[in-house]
Amino acid sequence: MLTAILAITIMALIFGLLLGYASIRFKVEGDPIADQIDKLLPQTQCGQCSFPGCRPYAEAMANGEADINRCPPGGEATIQALADLLEVEAKPLDDECGVEKPKTLAVIVEDRCIGCTLCIQACPVDAILGAAKQMHTVITDECTGCELCVPPCPVDCIDMVETKLNPNTWRWPDPSHIDLKLEDHS
């Protein structure tokens, strides 16, 4: 009887120590769920979700404090991906945050730019290049189309231009609509 109790106690102690050690040794840095959610977000850093960037929104979602339908740039596809990841029901985009729009890029009308640097300070991804009283310009490849640079501009010289499809970014159309037509017949 006593040996049994002793044996169990010792075993419990050993396993306890082992678990305790493992939890320190193999500690996961950061929040893996928030990381996974962050990966699915479009990283426009536009703040339309009412959080200051994609990462804070991802953390809020991971903590269950925010809904999954607050990202207009990601739109339906992102909501679907988030719903799959978090195993919840997908829902339509929250109107409060905005509407899904085609992808745009900021373009500075260079004749009108007065070089005030306000847009440079507003850009969340440092995609605007310029200096005080010098003309500014947008690094097209880095622009996420978040529109955050538009309101601060005092001379209204930033246009949001829809990104044009070129032969290299063009995608073959989905042929399944042909099949769908067929299913309608039956």
Partner 1 sequence: MSTPLGKFPGGLVLDGQKKRSTHDAIRKTPLSKKLILPLQQHIGEASTPIVAVGDNVLKGQRIAKAEGHVSVCLHAPSSGTITAIDEQPIPHPSGLSALCISLETDGEDRWIEHEEIADFTRLSEHDIRQKIREAGIVGLGGAGFPSFIKLNPGVHHHVETLIINGVECEPYITCDDMIMRERAEGILDGIEIMQYALRVNHCVIAIEDNKPEAISAMELALGRRHSLKDTRIVVIPTRYPTGSEKQLIQVVTGKQVPSHGLPIDIGIVCHNVGTSYAIGRAIKHGEPLISRIVTVTGTDVKHAGNFETLFGTPMHELLSFCDTHREPNEPFILGGPMMGYNLSGDHLPVTKTANCILVGVDNAAPKTEPLPCIRCGECATACPVSLLPQQLYWFSRSKDLEKTREYNLFDCIECGCCSYVCPSKIPLVHYFRFAKTETMNHELETQKADNARIRHENRLERHESEKKEKEERQRQRKLALAATKAAKEKEAAKKAAESSTDNQEN
Sites of contact with partner 1 (CB under 8 A):
38, 41-45, 53-55, 124-127, 142, 144, 165-167, 169-176, 178-179, 181-182
Beta bridge partners of 138: 128
CB of 186 to partner 1, least distance (A): 9
CB of 167 to partner 1, least distance (A): 5
* Pairing between β-strand 128-129 and β-strand 137-138 as defined by DSSP bridges: antiparallel
Q: Which is nearer to partner 1, 26 or 172 (CB)?
A: 172
CB of 73 to partner 1, least distance (A): 10
CB of 71 to partner 1, least distance (A): 12
| 3-class state of residue 88 by DSSP | coil
Q: Which distant-in-sequence residues (6+ apart) come within 8 Å of 177 by Cβ?
A: none
Contact 92, 70 (CB under 8 A): no
117: which 2 tokens?
């640097």
Q: Which is nearer to partner 1, 27 or 181 (CB)?
A: 181
Contact 69, 91 (CB under 8 A): yes
CB of 46 to partner 1, least distance (A): 11
Q: Which is nearer to partner 1, 107 or 122 (CB)?
A: 122
Q: Give burial (CB, 10 Å; 0-12/13-18/19+) of 69.
A: buried
Q: Which is nearer to partner 1, 54 or 113 (CB)?
A: 54
Report the alpha-carbon distance of residue 120 to residue 149 in Å, rounded. Answer: 8
Report the alpha-carbon distance of residue 25 to residue 21 in Å, rounded. Answer: 6
Q: Which is nearer to partner 1, 63 or 163 (CB)?
A: 163
